[in-house]
């Protein structure tokens, strides 16, 4: 009897893994199709030009619903089988969903450590957790590169190129809520 229940639990476990994998595939496909439909809609295409994608979205939603129902059924079966194992061997199998495919956002509390791109931090003025807005401003490096290019003979306008390159400029982080300057990352 315990061997049969162990075999049933392993079959349920395998089917749950296959279901989770298939649900992840469908979810990824659905996200891509939704972006495609939104892109076509924003570019002024009529609904007939993306009707195939909307039809596929409906099919994916239906299949996801069926898979969710099957997952609930299997989890109920698993709970019934795991209770059987707990009474005999006092152990159970715990299933955990996959973690998200992207890392958790990092909040930088020391504003002096902010990188040259938009980041999450706590505004020292309004004390809100925000994602900073980034602006660039010509700084000392921009003027230095311009001066050096003039010295080497780039007088015909090429010396102005550093004023158009963000990589030569300083980066200013601003709070989107209170509009105050949080930090300036100087280009050295």
Give pLDDT tens digits for 132-181. 999 999 999 999 999 998 998 887 888 888 899 998 999 999 999 999 99
Shared-domain flag, residues 116 and 75: no
pLDDT at residue 3 above 70? no
Final residue before a domain boundary, out of 35, 59, 89: 89
Helices vs. strands in the chain: H and E counts, helices first: 3, 6
Q: For residue 141, tell me if it sits in a domain.
A: yes
* Residue 178 DSSP symbol: T
Q: For residue 127, tell me if it sits in a domain.
A: yes
Q: For residue 31, tell me if it sits in a domain.
A: yes
CA angle 74, 75, 77 (to 5 degrees): 65
DSSP secondary structure string for all residues of 53-111: HHHHHHHHHHHHHHHHHHHHHHHHHHHHHHHHHHHHHS------PPPPSSPPPPEE--G
Q: What is the pLDDT of residue 141?
A: 92
Shared-domain flag, residues 85 and 113: no
Q: For residue 99, tell me if it sits in a domain.
A: no
Rounded mean pLDDT, 100-128: 88
Final residue before a domain boundary, out of 89, 116, 135: 89
Q: What is the pLDDT of residue 95?
A: 62
- The total number of structural domains in the chain stands at 2
pTM for the full predicted model: 0.46
Q: What is the pLDDT of residue 81?
A: 52
pLDDT digits (tens, 9 = 90+) for 75-94: 887 776 544 333 333 445 56
If one compares 3 and 157, the residue with the highest pLDDT of the two is 157
3-class secondary-structure state, position 130 = strand
Residue 13's pLDDT band, with cuts at 50, 70 and 90, is confident
Shared-domain flag, residues 153 and 80: no
Final residue before a domain boundary, out of 89, 118, 153: 89
pLDDT digits (tens, 9 = 90+) for 34-47: 888 888 888 777 77
Q: For residue 100, tell me if it sits in a domain.
A: no
**Average per-residue pLDDT for the chain:** 82
pLDDT at residue 26 above 80? yes
Question: Which is nearest to 122 in space by CA: 106, 135, 103, 102?
Answer: 106
Give percent of the chain with pLDDT exceeding 70. 87
Q: Report the alpha-carbon distance of residue 6 to residue 82 in Å, rounded.
A: 9
- Domain of 31 in residue numbering reads as 2-89
pLDDT at residue 63 above 80? yes
Question: Which is nearest to 78 in space by CA: 24, 15, 20, 18?
Answer: 15
């Amino acid at each position: 009897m315990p061997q049969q229940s162990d075999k049933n639990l392993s079959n349920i476990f395998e089917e749950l893994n296959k279901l989770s994998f298939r649900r992840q595939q469908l979810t990824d496909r659905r996200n891509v199709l939704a972006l495609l439909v939104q892109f076509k809609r924003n570019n002024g295409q009529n609904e007939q030009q993306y009707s195939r994608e909307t039809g596929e979205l409906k099919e994916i939603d239906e299949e996801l619903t069926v898979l969710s129902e099957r997952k609930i059924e299997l989890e109920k079966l698993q709970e019934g089988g795991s209770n059987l194992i707990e009474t005999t061997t006092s152990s159970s199998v715990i299933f955990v969903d996959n973690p998200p495919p992207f890392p958790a956002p990092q909040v930088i509390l020391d504003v002096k450590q902010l990188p040259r791109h938009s980041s999450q931090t706590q505004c020292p003025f309004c004390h809100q957790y925000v994602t900073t807005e980034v602006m660039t401003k010509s700084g000392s490096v921009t003027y230095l590169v311009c001066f050096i290019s003039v010295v080497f003979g780039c007088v015909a306008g090429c010396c102005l190129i550093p004023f158009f390159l963000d990589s030569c400029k300083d980066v200013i982080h601003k709070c989107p809520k209170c509009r105050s300057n949080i930090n300036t990352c100087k280009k050295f």
